[in-house]
Amino acid sequence: MSFAGKVWRLLVGIKDGLSLILLLMFFSALFAILSARPSPGVVREGALYLQLDGSVVEEASALDPLNLLLSQELPAAQYQARDLIAALDAAATDDRIKAVVLDLSAFTGGGHIHMQEVGAAMDRVRKAKKPVLTFALAYTDDSMMLAAHASEVWVDPLGGALIMGPGGQRLYYKGLLDYLKVNARVYRVGTYKSAVEPYMRNDMSPEARENAQALYSSIWEEYKAKIRSARPKAQIDRVTTDPAAWLKENLGDNARAALSAGLVDKVGDWEAFGKHVASIVGEDPFDGSPGAFAKTELQPWLAAIRPASTGGKAIGIVTIAGEISDGEAGPGEAGGARISQILDDALTDNLAALVVRVDSPGGTITGSEAIRRAIMRQKRKGIPIVVSMGNYAASGGYWVSTPADRIFAEPETVTGSIGVYGVVPTFEKALANWGVGTDGVSTTPLSGQPDILAGFTPQIESVLQQTVEHEYGVFLSLVAKSRGMTPQQVDRIGQGRVWDGGSARQLGLVDQFGDLDAAIQWAAQKAGLKQGNWHAKYLGSRPDPYATLIQRMLGSESESARAGSRDLFATVAGREQARIGQAIGDVSRLMGGSGAQAYCLECAALPSGKPANPRPGGLTAQFLRLVR
């Protein structure tokens, strides 16, 4: 017994010793991480360094600390457009910042409206007589829009530029569903409501093609006009009309071709670029690596710049970004319950006005209606309601916009898509093919319905179609009341058709062009507030105090991100991965059981800075959600 006790005490001692060693290792690593770089808020004289190793979005998705630590892998970085704009505007007036540097080596893109807004902020820095420089291995549509606003554009000798324009192919599943003997039962209203076409056809319908061609052509012409305005010497037509001939003229050297077409100013590697920046802003006294220059990175800069004014009355800003769903999802996804709660919590805040920032292709009818009702509860307080549309405010995104007293959009905003659909898969053909029969008794025409295994009866088919038609009628009535039209007039411009912002303004779906700042200014004026007597308050915006720490622990900054630079082949591969994500999103909409939808399919073919399926966790996690 004495021997057993000694062994037990030895084992306990070993366990305690190991626990102590692990704790010491953890806190040592934590101290090293926190002391490895300047603390947030410490600004060094030199350049403002914006390393966009990810995408620009309206609202960054929330990080799940437990999932991050278990997976030991960070999702693609997301940068909120308003943060970048605030950082650039502060840099324009701060004497500590001598220049702005955008490292786009690992940039994955963003929505067209966000690119224009960030580009305009870059123009304001240049107007303050401060140089703005960009560097990348490969410039594509979105990064080229940013670079067009720079005073100097550098590209790596092994890089180049490739402008592809909006549009492209998407997947259609009718043949596959027939092969698998899955019956995708579709209920819709709207000649142009193409969100269900992938389940009904193996190609695009003439109506959908007509709508998409008009939409993408308008956005493409606006894109080219913006590039020419920001960078007059860029030969955008030469680059996009016959890119193979343009490249052949330069012996296949893409970097040289980009230089010859005026897309870039200098060809050089990161070391040469860094030395050039250092000649402007000074060398980095703490970093002797090639290409180092004195700089302050984004997060310390955001922590250091003066916080927004809190004087006067508050104008609330609520963000509806990503697909609209019914629950608590988000940020980064517009969970109807979450956003409704945010708005209801603000009922006691004595807001002078409410600005609703919408950047959503739509989603569930029930989630959209929950948000609309919450906005209406704010409106019943007698305050002005203003909607500011970002890249998209289509389908459910327009549904939640209907309480607005004024709607602001940009010429390239995608909106409209006033239509409703539902799709439910049934498997009676598959079961019959496998030799499985179904039988039973019923007391009413709806007993046991809807039955996805035995199939639907004509009665339930009629009920579901009538439900969709009724919800479309509700949609028409909401828009008609909001826009001063009759339901018949709305129906003529509805039918699921998608419009660019310019067309939407002519049709009366949008009141005027303007960005978020213009919408906030209008709300203040409508509320009778003079400049200086109000401040903007983002509702429900609570930064995660642990996010930066976790990002540092997993090594997401600077050098590691630069190692992930994207050349043209990596860019093409990234697009194919996005298509896989889009396919998973299509299956999720078919199998997810989310109820009637008001969703814009055309929006998926335009850049947004987010994958087709906005749920975080990677492709594997998305697949597991479908099969579990």
Q: Is 545 helix (H, G, I), strand (E, B) or coil?
A: coil
C-alpha distances in Å from residue 297, one per residue of 35, 38, 278, 557, 594: 15, 9, 15, 10, 42
Closest alpha carbon to 530 in 311, 378, 354, 348: 311
Residue 131 preceded by cis peptide, ω within 30: no
The letter for the amino acid at 5 is: G
Among 315, 338, 344, 312, CA closest to 325: 338
Contact present, 501 and 327 (Cβ < 8 Å): no
- H or E element in which residue 620 lies: helix 618-627
Cα dihedral across residues 260, 262, 266, 269: positive or negative: negative
Q: How many CB atoms lie within 10 A of CB 385?
A: 22
> DSSP label at 485?
-
CA dist., res. 298 & res. 557, Å (int): 11
Identify whether 206 is preceded by a cis peptide bond (ω within 30 of 0). no
List, in order, residues 6 or more apart from 518 with CB less than 8 Å away.
388, 408
For residue 187, give every residue at least 6 positions away whose Cβ sits within 8 Å of its Cβ, in sequence order, or none: 421, 422, 423, 424, 464, 465, 467, 468
Express the helix, strand and coil content of the chain in percent, nearest 5 each.
45, 20, 35
Phi-psi group of 535: left, alpha or beta (phi > 0 → left; psi -120 to 50 → alpha; rest → beta): beta
Question: DSSP 3-state assignment of 466?
Answer: helix
Rg (CA), the chain: 27
**What is the rounded CA–CA span in Å between residue 163 and residue 261?**
12
Q: What gap in Å lies between CA 586 and CA 591, rounded to an integer?
A: 9
Please choose, from the candidates 361, 355, 356, 354, the residue with its C-alpha nearest in 3D space to the C-alpha of residue 333.
Answer: 361
- Structural contact between residues 210 and 191, judged by C-beta atoms closer than 8 angstroms: no
Residue 560 Cα distances to 257, 310, 553, 554, angstroms: 29, 38, 12, 10
Rounded to 5 degrees, φ, ψ at 201 are: -140, 170
Distances (CA, A) of 429 to 197, 278, 288, 437, 458: 21, 69, 68, 10, 17
> Two tokens at 175?
């043949």
- 296 beta partners: 48
Catalytic annotation, residues: 193, 395
